């Protein structure tokens, strides 16, 4: 063990035995969490780095789908939709995106045989330019890795767990970094380059880690509201207080169209041979998409918005836009039959927490402040990769041949301060709590009972 602690001031255990035990416990947890989650954090940082430039990358990749040459007259939206129906007779149109500029194509999203396709339309000729299967979009794949490791709900929980444990790593890492003596800035704020390999290895992990902590904490905290478990609960709690996002912007149902079923006109199906009762045909018919676009223009909405087409008789048209800047966001629900605006939520209508989360998300995506935002986020991501790798390297070099090299474990929770710290983090981040419980169970049921494992893990 002596060999591994190295003779650096930060790694030398303080003399008081209680503090020493506490220090070793923190170190042990930092080491295990680091070994387990470093690969995931590297993966998240790399996919995140790419995703920061989604707009620019897609602009190049899909140039031929995006650009149209403007003409005097635009084709009616209904015309474009009819053309899509003609080309894909079995498909259901779910979304229409008018396009944010004169030279931008419009998009009709359809679902066909369980697949989601985007059909790019020339809004002037009303003809199709091409289609993309949304499963084939490379940036969507990157997002899927970043958000759920392409493994659905399980993947989402693992990413959330890694994000939460990143916080644990930062808290424990900060404690380990914190200078025990007044040694100046060398080895804390700047790395010591000429004090030998061991010290350099240590400083190349500890010093950059300290510097990146603020940025990574920001990315983790702004990313968590997205997550499936912590995020969903967080959004529900804040929305319930009146200070979060209004319902339906993030979670919660949209309002419904205000109509009695018997007042809706029935469509006689082509297959039906029987006469349709005339009274059933007599009734209200849904608004055309052209009218919805008109409403959108009257209400004034950021031009890159999409219209979600209702699929149920009581559904609503939803205009939705999450543009680069949080202040431009809007979610508007329109009665499918009367065209009445049932809800109109703008950034100004968010609660205080909702506004903060909205800013957090656009900053996390790197869109709020354009290029500067993207470059700063990219720098944080690359630093995270560096710190994760230098941490693993540090452990690998220090590790003895016949063990994992963790400081000897006192009973898992016999320091009260640490127990309370972990319970606190476990309450704030239930997944951390659950994983601590899992570790405790594994320790109690397996590690402590199998001598060779116990020895290797120094448990």
Partner 1 sequence: MRKSGMLALLLLCMLILGACSLNSDAASLYKQESPLQVKMNVPEDLSVNEEVVFEVSLSQNGAPVDSADFVHFEVQKQDGSIRFPMEEAENTENGVYQMQFEFESEGLYYFEVHAGNKGSVVSPQQQFIVGKLSDSELESLKQGSKPEQGSSGHHH
> Could you say whether residue 440 binds partner 1 (CB under 8 A)?
yes
Tell the smallest beta-carbon distance from residue 415 to partner 1 (Å).
Answer: 11
Alpha-carbon span 264 to 280, nearest angstrom: 8
Stretch that binds partner 1, among 167-175, 336-344, 371-379, 400-408 (CB under 8 A): 336-344
* Sheet with 306-308, edge to edge strand ranges: 128-133, 115-121, 106-112, 92-97, 306-308, 316-321, 330-335, 341-346
> Could you say whether residue 453 binds partner 1 (CB under 8 A)?
no
> Could you say whether residue 337 binds partner 1 (CB under 8 A)?
yes
**Residue 320, Cα to own-chain centre: how many angstroms?**
18
Alpha-carbon span 246 to 348, nearest angstrom: 11
Q: Which is nearer to partner 1, 11 or 229 (CB)?
A: 229
**Residue 191, Cα to own-chain centre: how many angstroms?**
33
Q: Which is nearer to partner 1, 101 or 233 (CB)?
A: 233
Tell the smallest beta-carbon distance from residue 405 to partner 1 (Å).
Answer: 25
Q: H/E element holding 128?
A: strand 128-133
Site string for partner 1, 243-262 (x = CB under 8 A): ---xxx--xx--x--x----
Q: Which residues pair with 332 in a beta bridge?
A: 319, 344
Tell the smallest beta-carbon distance from residue 53 to partner 1 (Å).
Answer: 34
> Is residue 215 helix, strand or coil?
helix
Per CB under 8 A, contacts with partner 1 among 345-374 are: 345, 349, 351
Alpha-carbon span 291 to 317, nearest angstrom: 11
DSSP conformation class of 261 = G
User: CA dihedral in degrees (388, 389, 395, 401; nearest 10)?
Assistant: 140
Tell the smallest beta-carbon distance from residue 292 to partner 1 (Å).
Answer: 11
Residue from 181, 270, 273, 312 touching partner 1 (CB under 8 A): that is: 270
Phi, psi of 3 (to 5 degrees): -55, -35
Q: Which is nearer to partner 1, 427 or 453 (CB)?
A: 427
> Is residue 97 helix, strand or coil?
strand
> Could you say whether residue 50 binds partner 1 (CB under 8 A)?
no
> Could you say whether residue 335 binds partner 1 (CB under 8 A)?
yes
CB < 8 Å & 24+ apart, contacts of 182-188: 183/9, 187/8, 187/9, 187/10, 188/10
Per CB under 8 A, contacts with partner 1 among 405-424 are: 411-414, 416, 419, 423
Q: Which two tokens stand for residue 139?
A: 């940036």
Per CB under 8 A, contacts with partner 1 among 216-235 are: 229, 232-233
Residue from 214, 268, 400, 403 touching partner 1 (CB under 8 A): that is: 268
Site string for partner 1, 90-129 (x = CB under 8 A): ----------------------------------------
Residue from 1, 375, 408, 437 touching partner 1 (CB under 8 A): that is: 437
> Could you say whether residue 445 binds partner 1 (CB under 8 A)?
no
Alpha-carbon span 45 to 156, nearest angstrom: 16
> Could you say whether residue 83 binds partner 1 (CB under 8 A)?
no
Stretch that binds partner 1, among 119-127, 140-148, 273-281, 301-309 (CB under 8 A): 273-281
Tell the smallest beta-carbon distance from residue 303 to partner 1 (Å).
Answer: 19
> Is residue 337 helix, strand or coil?
coil
Write down how long the chain is.
459
Q: H/E element holding 236?
A: helix 230-241
> Could you say whether residue 311 binds partner 1 (CB under 8 A)?
no
Alpha-carbon span 313 to 265, nearest angstrom: 10
Contact positions toward partner 1, by CB under 8 A?
76, 78, 229, 232-233, 236-237, 239-242, 246-248, 251-252, 255, 258, 263, 265, 267-270, 278-279, 281-285, 287-288, 290-291, 294, 298, 335, 337-345, 349, 351, 411-414, 416, 419, 423, 426-427, 430, 433-434, 436-437, 440
């Amino acid at each position: 063990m002596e060999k591994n602690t190295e003779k650096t001031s930060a790694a030398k255990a303080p003399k008081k035995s209680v503090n020493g035990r506490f220090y070793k416990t923190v170190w042990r947890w930092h080491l295990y969490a680091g070994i387990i989650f470093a690969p995931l954090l590297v993966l998240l940082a790399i996919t995140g780095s790419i995703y920061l430039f989604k707009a620019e990358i897609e602009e190049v990749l899909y140039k031929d789908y995006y650009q149209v040459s403007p003409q005097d007259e635009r084709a009616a939206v209904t015309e474009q939709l009819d053309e899509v129906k003609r080309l894909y007779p079995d498909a259901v149109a779910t979304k229409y995106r008018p396009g944010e500029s004169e030279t931008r194509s419009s998009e009709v999203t359809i679902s066909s045989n369980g697949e989601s396709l985007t059909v790019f339309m020339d809004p002037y000729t009303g003809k199709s330019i091409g289609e993309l299967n949304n499963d084939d979009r490379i940036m969507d794949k990157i997002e899927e890795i970043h958000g759920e490791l392409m493994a659905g709900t399980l993947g989402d929980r693992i990413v959330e767990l890694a994000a939460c444990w990143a916080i644990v790593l930062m808290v424990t890492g900060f404690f380990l970094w914190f200078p025990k003596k007044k040694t100046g800035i060398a080895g804390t704020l700047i790395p010591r380059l000429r004090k030998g390999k061991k010290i350099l290895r240590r400083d190349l992990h500890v010093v950059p880690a300290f510097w990146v902590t603020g940025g990574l904490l920001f990315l983790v905290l702004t990313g968590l509201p997205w997550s499936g478990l912590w995020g969903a609960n967080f959004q529900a709690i804040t929305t319930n207080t009146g200070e979060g996002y209004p319902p339906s912007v993030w979670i919660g149902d949209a309002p419904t169209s205000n109509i009695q079923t018997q007042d809706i006109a029935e469509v006689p199906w082509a297959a039906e041979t029987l006469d349709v009762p005339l009274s059933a045909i007599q009734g209200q018919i849904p608004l055309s998409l052209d009218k919805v676009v008109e409403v959108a223009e009257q209400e004034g909405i950021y031009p890159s918005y999409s219209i979600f087409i209702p699929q149920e008789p009581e559904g609503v048209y939803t205009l939705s836009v999450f543009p680069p800047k949080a202040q431009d966001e809007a979610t508007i629900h329109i009665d499918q039959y009367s065209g009445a605006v049932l809800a109109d939520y703008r950034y100004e209508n968010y609660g205080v927490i909702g506004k903060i989360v909205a800013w957090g998300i656009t900053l996390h995506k790197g869109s709020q402040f354009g290029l500067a935002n993207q470059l700063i986020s990219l720098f944080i991501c690359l630093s995270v990769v560096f710190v994760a790798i230098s941490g693993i390297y540090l452990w690998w070099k220090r590790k003895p041949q016949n063990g994992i090299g963790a400081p000897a474990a006192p009973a898992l929770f016999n320091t009260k301060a640490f127990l309370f710290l972990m319970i606190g983090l476990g309450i704030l981040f239930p997944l951390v709590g659950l994983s601590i419980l899992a570790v405790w169970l594994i320790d109690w049921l397996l590690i402590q009972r199998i001598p060779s494992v116990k020895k290797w893990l120094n448990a």
